[in-house]
Amino acid sequence: MVCRCSWAAGVWLAGCLLLSAATAMVAPEINDQGKFFSAEAIKAANERIRVIASKYDQDVLIETFATPPTDQVEKVKALDVKAREEFFSKWAKERADHCVVRGVYMLICREPQYFFIGVTKHGHTAFPPEIRNSLRKVMVVDFGKGRFDEALTAGLSFIEDRLAKAK
């Protein structure tokens, strides 16, 4: 049997694939290239992040990296504190824009160590600077002790609590 609508089906399928690719790009999740978190912690966190997205219409995207982009590693290591903050802020904004994040974006780097939390326009009401700083403090305590899974759990709990209060 020959399907007479194969061209239309092909166009529809291509449209669905493009939509899937676009949707995948904005999916909130943990992207742990820096290998900070256990597989179990990532699985649990991704489930919580999906609940946050559906319940509060806020993305949470956490990306970890072993180093900055390869061509920037030595440059970043030589930067003073202020310039390093500017570098990571710019890099995080570029990543959040690229991933179309609508909410909270975290960039965590292993070497040099850096932890940045950014909030897009969509998340500013729930996460003004003082709340963002409180979130960072909650997570840095466990990060500083090498308890990365615990930091992840504490951070997501903080985000959920804050969104529940802001609602």
Q: How sure is the predictor about 97, in pLDDT bands with cuts at 50, 70 and 90?
A: very high
For the chain, what is the mean pLDDT? Answer: 86
Fold designation for 27-166: Diaminopimelate Epimerase; Chain A, domain 1 (3.10.310)
Burial of 88 from C-beta contacts in 10 A (0-12 / 13-18 / 19+)? buried
Instruction: Name the residue ranges covered by the structural domains of the chain.
Output: 27-166
Please list, residue by residue across 127-156, b when 16 or more beta carbons sit within 10 angstroms of its beta carbon and e when fewer do: beeebbeebbebbeebbeeeebbebbbbbb
pLDDT at 4 over 60: no
Q: Considering only CA atoms, give the Rg of the chain.
A: 19
pLDDT at position 159, please?
Answer: 97
Return the bridge partners of 62, or none: 30, 106
Summarize the confidence of residues 113-118 as an average pLDDT: 95
Q: What is the pLDDT of residues 13-50, one digit of tens each?
A: 333 333 334 433 446 789 999 999 999 999 999 999 99
| Structure tokens belonging to residue 159 | 């985000």
pLDDT at residue number 166: 87
